[in-house]
Amino acid sequence: MQYPVLNTQITPEGRLDVLSKAEVSKLLDTSHGGLYTIFRHCTLAVLNSGNSLDDGKELLARYPDFSISIIHRERGIKLELKNAPANAFVDGVMIKGIQEHVFSVLRDIIFLNSEFANNPQFDLTTSQGITESVFHILRNANQLRPLRNPSLVVCWGGHSISGNEYDYTKHVGYQLGLRALNICTGCGPGAMKGPMKGATIGHAKQRIKTGQYLGVTEPGIIAAEAPNAIVDELVILPDIEKRLEAFVRIGHAVIVFPGGAGTAEEILYILGILLHPHNNDIPFPLIFTGPSSAAEYFKQIDQFIGATLGKEAQSRYEIIINDPELVAQRALTGIGEVRAHRKAKSDAYYFNWILKIPSEFQHPFIPNHQNMRQLQLHKNQENYLLAANLRRAFSGIVAGNVKADGIRAIEEFGHFELTGDSELMESIDGLLTSFVEQHRMKLPGKMYIPCYRIIK
């Protein structure tokens, strides 16, 4: 099938007007280790904003002739795009928001390469070095804003949700917007779009013109979760672990809507951090919510957490069903507690330095067949470490479901295999099976073929 394409040249507005010859050379380097491939893939994903597609490999196949190059002009640079998706244009002119996201890609790719490649300031083998890198990426993207009270609510949830669940996320977003709270999501469709859409109406009703709708992503997932139409600010972190750390460092509360394996990964990530003894007394509002039809979903999530991580983990979140107003009230109250705690501890409102994130949650996990098979999925370890390994298991399933490299690995070598304690594997198998039965692993209308096998 042929998809309509257009050619264009675009100019940055007020940022990245000038690039060095070395930066241009690296961006256009198509050799192994060059930046062109990642630059092209992320740009193509941004141009695909608004399309219902959750398969990075399929997106690349749709537009095999898409290319991007940099043109030097007397007054700065231009980007030349050839065979770009036509849906990114109106009457032949690129949509302004999409154009801004293209230059966000350029900004972050350049920064990641120029600042972190062979830079002794950032020791990415240490926990502190990784946190410093996340801080600098967010600061370079102008996302660390002092002199502002805490107000950023991170919303997690699936891209594959029902219409009823999507409407509910909008209602929650609306209630958050009415309370002058801002929204940060993974930037894709479904539960990542709904809260932003609702918040725009809430902000408009309150005559708030400075509402924030922040999308945080990473190169491996952006093709499957391209920025939705509401995202006004986009940040690309280098990998899923730094993306997750960015969420919890800049967010002041987390609301979790129904989702699939990716949402389970996020839940396990935040619970694992909160289960670390260092974080016992740190307030961090965590709310699971959905409409009445999602009650069974959260019952299964709660049972899974109880069976794997125990009552201590269950005590770190609240489940609220079919009550958007109560969700927003609880979030606002919780953020008040966060503000008081940060003020008492002299911690920044804009970046949660005091939160301890164990290194097991920071170092990139490569979801290949060997690493998936060797995961330590047993209860003979501290709870936060078990959460870290469970998080890696679900991260691998996400890769096999939607990431181009993961999909190719499954096609070449077959299913990922997970093995561990029988009771634990039963819990994992039961949860994943429920996701499949509820059609939470793929967008509606698309048949899901499992990328994993549970070895009991």
Q: From residue 297, give the alpha-carbon distance in Å to each of 7, 240, 304, 401.
A: 45, 25, 11, 20
**CA nearest neighbour of 101 among 130, 115, 81:** 81
The predicted pLDDT at position 22 comes to 75
Q: Which residue has the higher pLDDT, 171 or 111?
A: 171
What's the confidence (pLDDT) of residue 32? 64
pLDDT recorded at residue 443? 60
**pLDDT value for 222:** 85
Provide, rounded to the nearest whole percent, the portion of the chain with pLDDT above 70. Answer: 94
Highest mean pLDDT among 75-79, 199-203, 261-265: 199-203
Residue 54, pLDDT score: 59
Amino acid 282: pLDDT: 96
Q: Where are the domains of the chain?
A: 5-119, 144-218+227-345, 359-455
Is 265 a residue whose pLDDT tops 60?
yes
CATH number of this structure's domain 5-119, picked from the four choices 1.10.150.120, 3.30.365.10, 3.30.1850.10, 3.30.465.10: 3.30.1850.10
CA neighbor of 152 nearest in space, from 212, 222, 67:
212
The residue-averaged pLDDT of 311-324 equals 97
DSSP character string of 309-352: T-HHHHTT-EEEES-HHHHHHHHHHHHHHHHHHHHHHT--SSS-
Q: Is 91 left (phi over 0), alpha (psi -120 to 50) or beta?
A: left
Average pLDDT over residues 369-398: 94
Is a pLDDT exceeding 60 seen at residue 221?
yes
pLDDT at residue 2 is higher than 80:
no
Q: What pLDDT, on a 0 to 100 scale, did the predictor assign at position 211? A: 95
Rounded mean pLDDT, 171-180: 98
According to DSSP, residue 284 is labeled: -
Q: Which band of pLDDT confidence, cut at 50, 70 and 90, is reported for residue 27? A: confident
Q: Tell which residue, 419, 439, 438, has the closest CA to residue 429.
A: 419
Confidence class for position 24, pLDDT limits 50, 70, 90: confident
Alpha helices by DSSP H, listed for 261-310, are 261-274, 295-308
User: How many Cα atoms sit within 13 Å of 430 on the Cβ side?
Assistant: 16
The larger pLDDT score, comparing residue 438 to residue 201, is at 201
* Position 134 confidence tier, pLDDT thresholds 50, 70, 90: very high
pLDDT higher for 404 or 260?
260
**What topology is assigned to 144-218+227-345 in CATH?**
Rossmann fold (3.40.50)
Q: Is the pLDDT confidence value at 14 over 60?
A: no
pLDDT band of residue 440 (cuts 50, 70, 90) is confident
Sorting pLDDT into bands at 50, 70 and 90, what band is 312?
very high
> What is the average pLDDT score of the chain?
90
In the predicted structure, residue 77 carries a pLDDT above the cut 90: no
User: Residue 328: which of 191, 182, 214, 211 has the closest Cα?
Assistant: 182
Nearest to 284 by CA among 339, 245, 243, 362: 339
Q: Residues 116-131: pLDDT tens digits? A: 766 777 788 899 999 9
Confidence of residue 75 (pLDDT cuts 50, 70, 90): low
Is the pLDDT score of 85 beyond 70? yes
Query: Residue 68 phi/psi, 5° resolution?
Result: -140, 135
